[in-house]
Amino acid sequence: MNKIIRFVFFGNYFVGILAVALTLEATFQLRLPFNSLNYYVLLFLAPTIYYTYAYNKVSTQPSVTNPRTQWYFEHKEFIGRSQVVLFVFCLLLAVNLLYRNFSNILNLPAIYWLAIMVMIMAGTMYYGLLPKSFLPFNLRSTGWLKAFVIGFVWACCANVLPLIMLKVETGITYHDSILWAWLFIKNWMFCTVNAIIFDIKDYPTDSNKQLRTFVVRYGLRKTIFSILIPLLIIGLISLGIFASYKGFGIPQVICNILPFILTIYVAYSMHQRKNILYYLMVIDGLILFKAICGIVGMQFIR
């Protein structure tokens, strides 16, 4: 069981599950048709490959203090082979998607192409995956901005990509811009808070690298009580205001409040040191819990 848990979480397969879960949540909340199975499988594989490549790139030496780095070092040959297999499968799915919808892709409005380019640039730069000779700038090295960039990429994955693919595959255009904008900002802020909590894990490394994340700049206690909890409380207040504006029912409001309450509790508990699997299972698990609550909440709407 321990090997399975490490495989799922260290191998970033759970990240792929999160990408699909957030997309399904947005689909239910926006009351949109589902995308094709081809797209969902591609959506699962792409972030799994992306994050595994990023971590494998820096995990070249054994580590006694970092179990994930040690896992990558011990399974380097398996990871290399699995990456090739997953990438080939991912490429085949992308080609199939392109073949079936080639004319629709070419005829996408300019605003869709702009969104695609912004997502691609943010996704490639914030992990520094491009060669430094081509682009030396790394968004993750900007300290406090890193968490907002990560949150932005995940919000685009959940709220922008499905609309683009829906336009490509069915020609349907979504028109409730107020609801979409609120859900996008909510995902952005929730994933940003999640990334700030995750930075607590990297505090010693980021401090040595002089990477001015929130926890390095302000310290652990101030980050929790002056940044994380206030941001989550603001999220709760904005949720209440928007729920009143949209006429949400009590069951739907409760389902959307629960992830914020649980995240406040987890943020408060972060003054005690946790191991890497706690971050990967519990902290990232908050995103999965949020997606499930969002989907369940929509079942109370007639």
Is residue 26 a contact partner of residue 183, using CB atoms and an 8 Å limit?
A: yes
Query: What is the arithmetic mean of pLDDT over 3-11?
Result: 90
Reference 259, options 30, 68, 22, 33; nearest CA is: 22
Is residue 200 a contact partner of residue 270, using CB atoms and an 8 Å limit?
A: yes
* Range of lowest pLDDT (34-38, 72-76, 120-124, 140-144): 140-144
Is residue 242 a contact partner of residue 182, using CB atoms and an 8 Å limit?
A: yes
| Structure confidence at residue 214 (pLDDT) | 73
Distance CA 111, CA 19 (A): 23
DSSP conformation class of 225: I
- Per-residue confidence band for 96, with pLDDT thresholds at 50, 70 and 90: very high
Q: Which two tokens stand for residue 229?
A: 């909890």
Is residue 212 a contact partner of residue 143, using CB atoms and an 8 Å limit?
A: yes
* Range of lowest pLDDT (32-36, 68-72, 258-262): 68-72
Task: Answer whether residue 267 shows pLDDT above 70.
Answer: yes
Written as one letter, the residue type at 142 is T
The pLDDT tens digits of the residues spanning 213-224 come to 777 777 778 888
Place of tokens 């002056």: 226
Is residue 32 a contact partner of residue 302, using CB atoms and an 8 Å limit?
A: no
Distance CA 92, CA 215 (A): 42
Is residue 230 a contact partner of residue 265, using CB atoms and an 8 Å limit?
A: no
Q: Which two tokens stand for residue 216?
A: 């390095």
